[in-house]
Copies of this chain bind each other. A is one copy, B any other.
Amino acid sequence: MKLGAYYYPEAWPVEQWPRDLANLRRLGMEFVHLGEFAWALLEPSEGRFDFAWLDRAIQLAADHALPVVLCTPSATPPVWLTEAHPEVLLVDAAGRRQRHGTRQHACWSTETYRRHVARIVGALGARYGRDARICGWQLDNELSHYGKEPCFCDACQRKFQAWLGQRYGTIDALNRDWGNSFWSQLYQRFDQVRLPNPAELVAQVNPHQQLDAQRWFADEAADYLRGQAALLRAPAGDRQWITTNYMHRFAATNPALNGRDFDLVAWTIYPVHGAANRGPLGFRMGDAAEFSFAADFIRAINGRAGIMELQPGQVNWGQVNPQPQPGAVRLWIMRAFAAGSEFVCTYRFRQPRAGAELYHYGLVGPDGVTPTLGGEQFAQAARELAALRAAAPGDAPAPAHYQARRAALLYDWESRWDIDNHKQNQEWDTYEHLLKYHRALKRAGAPVDVITDAKDFAAYPFLVAPAHQLVDAELVARWHRYAENGGHLVLTCRTGQKDRRGQLWEAPWAGPILALIGAKIEFYDTLPAPNVGHLRVGAATFAWSTWAEVLAPDDRTTVVATHADQFYAGRAAAVTRQLGRGTVTYIGVDSRDGALEARLIREVYERASVATEDFADGFLVDWRDGCWIATNFHHEPQPAPIPPGAKILLGERVVPPAGVSVWR
Residues of A within 8 A of B (CB): 8, 10-11, 37-41, 73, 76-80, 83, 90, 94-105, 145-146, 148, 177-188, 192, 194, 196-197, 199-209, 274-276, 283-284, 314, 316-317, 319-323, 325-326, 351-359, 365-368, 370, 372-373, 422, 424-427, 501-509, 511, 523-529, 531, 567
Contacts and interface: CB of A to CB of B under 8 A. Distances in A.
A334 to B, nearest CB: 19
A28 B255 CA distance: 53
Contact of A528 (B97, B274, B356, B358): B274
A214 B524 CA distance: 41
A353 B179 contact: yes
Contact of A356 (B100, B188, B205, B505): B205
Contact of A40 (B38, B185, B199, B507): B185
A183 B526 contact: no
Contacts of A10: 181
Nearest to A176: B354
Nearest to A327: B567
Most chain B beta-carbon neighbours within 10 Å: one of A192, A200, A314, A527: A200
Most chain B beta-carbon neighbours within 10 Å: one of A148, A354, A367, A425: A354
Given A37-B184, A73-B184, A96-B200, A528 B177 contact: no
Contact of A526 (B73, B322, B366, B424): B322
A359 B422 contact: yes
A50 to B, nearest CB: 12
Contact of A357 (B105, B182, B209, B508): B182
Contacts of A424: 314, 316, 320-321, 359
Given A182-B356, A320-B528, A196 B41 contact: no
Contacts of A427: 320
Contacts of A505: 353, 366-367
Contact of A101 (B196, B509, B527): B196
19 contacts: A8-B182, A39-B184, A41-B184, A76-B184, A78-B184, A83-B192, A99-B197, A101-B201, A102-B201, A102-B203, A178-B354, A208-B355, A274-B528, A275-B528, A284-B567, A320-B526, A322-B528, A354-B504, A367-B508
A397 B122 CA distance: 80
